[in-house]
Structure 1
Amino acid sequence: MDLAGLRAIKAVADTGSVSRAAEVLNCVQSNVTARVKRLEQDLGVELFHRMSRGMAPTPAGRVLADYADRVLRMVAQARDAVADAAGRGGRLAIGTMETTAAVRLPPILAGFHADHPGVELTIVPGPTEHLLGEVLAGRLDGAFVGGAVEHPDLFVRLAFEEELVLIEPASGLSSESGRSTLIGFGRACAYRMRAETAMREAGRVPYRVMEFGSLDAILGCVAAGMGVTILPRAVVERAPWSTMLTARRIAPDLARMPTSFVRRTDAVETVSLRAFLDAVALASPLALARQPPPRWTGLNLSKAAC
């Protein structure tokens, strides 16, 4: 059993066919088939059901594919950690909600890049539910997510705390249609969930929802009078939106929204990741790195936000 064999097993299990696995691995199909057969012979079990259209893992194949995923993830982490410790820089892939990327991260990233120019840092935006899945799968080293989260495989630490507000055009809403139209991200977003609750509690029912995938698109549509949204106050306080939009308070129990940083419990905290969290701490009033020894809490995926 070697790494190449484990990569083949995982690729076939993930894609459901030898041909697609060969594309993922950038090799010929015969190599993938040979590695799968060799592992089946070594272990004395069938790892896949061969069907007319593709392959499906057997119970034994699912077990091995799960171990292959963990082993390959640990190997990648070990390589990055060694490069990191040797002072050759490292690689970090950090996920973030779009609002956090727009408002909180620019000064953090500027300071981190100035102090650690050798680190290859990738920022991946997305809604919380997607980011949590990417962290759990090991494709992200960590992510900034919104709302209360709980999962046994995640370390969670409070990074920022946002005040959510109802955002309307500064010129006011001229129609009942705009007053009862909620503009926001998709359902995987925590702000969306809070926004719908706030609309109901404010009596703005029935209401309709217009979904957009970009923060500026949401704010632009609100500024045009097409509807309202609920987002962090810090978003609307930036230029040019501060002169085009107005913020109204919502109920305190809906307004408070924590943003946490999550990573896998079994992930190695590299020098680069620790330095990144230190940079977050310098910019955050909650001072991540200066808190008492971390008391990690969990995030409830059913309450995930964007």
Structure 2
Amino acid sequence: MRALLIGAGGYLGRFVADRLLADPAVQLTALGRGDGADVRFDLTTGSPGALARFLDAVHPGVVINCAGSTRGGARDLIRHNTVAVATICEALRRSHCGARLVHIGCGAEYGPSQQGSSTAEDAVPRPGGPYGVSKLAATELVLGSGLDAVVLRVFSPTGPGTPAGAPLGRLAEAMRRAMQSGDGELKLAGLAAQRDFVDVRDVARAVHAASLSAAQGIVNIGSGRAVRLRDAAAVLARVAGYGGALHELDAPPGPVRPVLGHQRGDSDHMVPTPFPYPDGCGGWQQADVRTARDRLGWRPRINLEESLADIWMEAACRM
């Protein structure tokens, strides 16, 4: 199988590339903006026609899109996450290669969900910020394209290579600084949020499986278990050997507000306004991953403690 990987230099893309390269049946070509790409192409400025001509020349059996941006203003997010995907879809429609499209979406497309619930693929998406909106728009473009396509909605990827700006990356960096300076007390904010963390290597396995499958539509990729950041911080302290005290800074006071449920039959309910969390998904998010099991034959294998140990190993190297 010839695979074209877009965004191979990014956080998820690097692990997807490693997974595909380990499969002797896959011939991989990497396309992106960076110097490490086999072919340089900017999806935000390049034309669908130019990309279609390249697709016809390479003739991949599957196109995997891991490109995108998590940071920046609404205009930049729309450009990198939505316009870029429109270019991919139009190029595939014009091309004669007939390639399957595996697009990486995100759990932020769903927005806030009910405490204790698992979000399934049939949930009505209500993203809580510009990032989620830009990713949801991209998903809608893929689903409406008429292509042989699947969207993997990845919840909270973590593990080796976790960006320092991600919540668990920030935790590791704060702990590293505390240990380096000998602080016996670590004060952290925003630890009440609960998220479904999935190791990036498990995500790469899911992408590989989706590339080989006939699954279409949306498939959630997560661990199926929400973890409070406070508990993740405690595990990280144990992994790191940090013996100091962990103190959570008080969340700013806020009113209770309605959050719409994400399961059939759910009703509106009231929850306290959580400490701000960058993905716009409120205080709770947990994936229903049964579709990934049934249609991809995929289950997560790497537990959060192992992911945190790898995050800490990279942070400790900077001490």
Shorter-chain-normalised TM-score: which range? under 0.3
Q: Which has the higher helix share?
A: 1
Ranked by relative contact order (alpha carbons within 8 Å, sequence separation 6 or more), the top structure is 1
Higher-Rg structure is: 1
TM score, norm. by length of structure 2: 0.24
TM-score scaled by structure 1? 0.25
